[in-house]
A and B are shown apart, each in its own frame.
Chain A
Amino acid sequence: MTANTMKTAKTITDFARKFEELKKSKRKALIPFFTSGYPSLAETERLASIAASAGADFLEIGMPFSDPMADGPAIQFSSHQALSTGLKMKDTFSLVERITNKTELPVALMGYYNPILAKGISRFIKSAKSSGVGGLIIPDLPPEEAVELQESAQEQNMALCFLVAPTTNPKRYSTIAKSSTGFVYAVTVAGVTGARTSFSTSTDTYLRELKSNISKPIIAGFGIANGPTARKMVRHVDGVVVGSAFIELMRNNSRTAARKQVGRLIEEIRKSLDSGNNK
């Protein structure tokens, strides 16, 4: 056994450890998503604290990109707003540092690949790690293209969360699962991010199928916007991400009103997830 494979065998990411805890306490993970710097860095920080006390288990922080190909109007809007204030990657890193100092929540960064490449993969992962980032979600990077990133991530014990979609050929499930060292991100719909009111009836079958094929934690995301849908989506999997719904609340309300409503929505979803569990 080489030193390297020994390390792989023993290392478990902080994300994976957190999921073991959640599993023991039979708790489904609730992961709110906020765009870094929208409407301002101070506000994202404040929302993170609100999320922590309202029942979130992780946070997903979006690193804005000029061309967010996998995102719908809400996240596109928040990304462009944040970038128009001159937001830089180092601002997002220090935001995460403040959040992880203040709350217990592990933080996943969601971002497109080009800013990571521009920074330099290994430099990016080191900076991310030292600011407290626990894992990465990169929607335009499939595992086949991620060899270099995987090496750096492994060195820094950074969790990688690859995506699986309703259209994914089941033959690819094992590749995606094997490469994912945090959780597998199950995209619930063929589509872009954005709050939805209804889901295809086949979503349930797909998520069940995933769970029976993948032993790693699975988190469902894209479109989940309230308690009832969160509860439906989480039935077969280990947690949910909710994002665009919060951004819409921020977009349509004053800051103080948005804070309250975001807190309330997180509490509502928390309750739904917990009640689903007890059944």
Chain B
Amino acid sequence: MPTKKASLAMPDTRGRFGDYGGRFVPETVNVALDELTQAFKLAKSDKEFKRRFANLLRDYVGRESPLYFAERFSAQVGAQVYLKREDLNHTGAHKINNCLGQALLAVRMGKKRIIAETGAGQHGLATATVCALFGLECVIYMGAKDVKRQAPNVRKIKFLGAKVIPVTSGAETLKDATNEAMRDWVTNIETTFYIIGSAVGPHPYPMIVREFQSVIGKEARRQMLKRLGKLPDYVVACVGGGSNAIGIMSAFLKDTALKDTSVKLIGVEAGGHGLASGKHSATLTKGKPGVLHGSYSYLLFDNEGQVILPHSISAGLDYPGVGPEHSFLHDAGRVQYRSVTDKQALKAFKTLSITEGIIPALESSHALAYLMTGEEFKSKSTKMLSAKSPVVLLCLSGRGDKDMDIVQSKLEIE
């Protein structure tokens, strides 16, 4: 159903992006969401807040992050691929942008205790980092399976003085960690600020996370225009909850929301063992609208409404839900959501490493894999790189240090 309204004008006051979003939460946290909405509104128009955030992004995170033309990788895929290097950020992923913003809000609101959920451990690491920076108590919930498969991040989180609580319910992954973080929040609502790590959750979180991640898109757009004098043909990003994707895409939504022109936006979900296997995390491709973790959005669930345990080789994409704005953009047809399998992601992981000397996160490898498999690119029969080849801006959301164990074990099996 095409729509005339751009999602950037959303959400409305009820936190809705079209039908999606809202606030499906236990009553206890309602007031905290109101307070957060208010604090965010004031902070957004506060020069001092903006200055502090901008300075930290520059001096602490190392922004702006480079835009890199990956020439040898481009030759492999037959597209001119520009990587937005979020992997070079302090702590190794885009997650730190959002954590700094939310931690500044927490400090402003006088909260002393921070909790977060994490899958890949990148959000946990970024949260533990900003807590060290601001002297805040920090508790990270992480699925027991993820604690094992992302061990390097767990060690770093602990070293930074945060507590890691392994969660043993469900599939012991991101969904379960989020349940447990929510329960902690309900219990400690007066003292605790919940830093949600993706563009998910009850209103105002999806709006806040988009705002703090929008720096990715703003920079990339400026860098593209400066470098090429034009916008890219495609913007591609992986989608777990959707924060790096909405961060980079938000700068390109407006151009074309009303007229179907140039920049095509592609979100890549985790296809796991393949869409037919039922073992995947391709929420927008295979899910239906439902309610989990506070918002109405696409979700993987069975006929009984029970949430299906997702699967992905990438802990950061191993989640059965997705941010509500992506559900809106999906229905509106503004963003195309595709998926690649574990295997394809692994192959892209190797390819980027070997052709560019950049080891990508398994999450980001999904976006890369789409350039090697997607219909828009595969059909370029010659795959010869030329000035006519499509220009792709790809969000390299993080680096792969955390994934060494898992990749090694998979490659040994092969």
Contact = CB atoms under 8 A, between A and B. Distances in A.
Contacts of A140: 24-26, 291, 294
A114 B291 contact: yes
A167 B32 contact: yes
Contact of B183 (A80, A83, A164, A192): A192
Contact of B303 (A118, A164, A190): A118
Contact of B179 (A67, A89, A168, A190): A67
B292 A114 contact: yes
Contact of A118 (B31, B186, B188, B301): B301
| Most chain B beta-carbon neighbours within 10 Å: one of A66, A68, A72 | A66
A83 B290 CA distance: 19
Nearest to A146: B24
| Most chain A beta-carbon neighbours within 10 Å: one of B23, B29, B31, B183 | B183
Contacts of B23: 142, 144-145
A91 B179 CA distance: 26
A164 B291 CA distance: 21
Contacts of B32: 167
A241 to B, nearest CB: 15
B190 A167 contact: yes
Given A67-B179, A69-B293, A88-B304, A113 B24 contact: yes
A41 interface: no
Nearest to A88: B304
A190 B189 contact: yes
B27 A191 contact: no
Contact of B306 (A66, A163, A165, A169): A66
Nearest to B309: A66
A264 interface: no
Contacts of B28: 165-168, 187, 190-191
A80 to B, nearest CB: 7
Contacts of A187: 26-28
B307 A114 contact: yes
B170 interface: yes
Interface string A73-92: 00010001001000011000
A54 B166 CA distance: 41
B292 A190 contact: no
A3 to B, nearest CB: 29
A70 interface: yes
Interface in A74-130: 76, 80, 83, 88-89, 112-119
Interface in B1-58: 14, 22-32, 34
Contacts of B292: 67, 114
A139 interface: yes
A16 interface: no
A114 B27 contact: no
Contacts of B170: 66-67
B305 interface: yes
A178 to B, nearest CB: 15
Interface in B156-205: 169-170, 175, 179, 182-183, 186-190
Per DSSP, chain B at the interface is mixed
B406 to A, nearest CB: 25
Nearest to B293: A69
A190 B304 contact: no
A172 B30 contact: yes
Contact of A115 (B24, B183, B186, B305): B305
Contacts of B183: 69-72, 192
A169 B294 CA distance: 19
Interface string A133-168: 000000111101100000000000000001111111
B299 interface: yes
A26 to B, nearest CB: 29
Given A165-B28, A191-B28, A70 B290 contact: no
A65 interface: yes
A172 B31 CA distance: 10
A239 B235 CA distance: 58
B187 A190 contact: yes
A275 B237 CA distance: 65
A123 to B, nearest CB: 12
Contact of A70 (B22, B26, B291, B299): B26
| Most chain B beta-carbon neighbours within 10 Å: one of A69, A70, A71, A144 | A69
Contacts of B189: 167, 190
Given A72-B183, A144-B14, A187-B27, A118 B34 contact: no
A16 B22 CA distance: 30
A267 to B, nearest CB: 31
Contacts of B24: 113, 140-142, 145
Contacts of A119: 305
A191 B187 contact: yes
B84 to A, nearest CB: 34
Contacts of A68: 179
A89 B26 contact: no
Contacts of A80: 169
Interface string A39-83: 000000000000000000000000001111111100010001001
A142 B175 contact: no
Interface of A: 65-72, 76, 80, 83, 88-89, 112-119, 139-142, 144-145, 162-169, 172, 176, 187, 190-192
- List of 9 A-B pairs having minimum Cβ-Cβ separation, nearest first: A118-B305, A115-B305, A165-B28, A191-B187, A165-B27, A163-B27, A66-B306, A70-B26, A66-B307
8 contacts: A67-B170, A115-B306, A116-B305, A142-B24, A144-B23, A164-B27, A165-B27, A167-B190
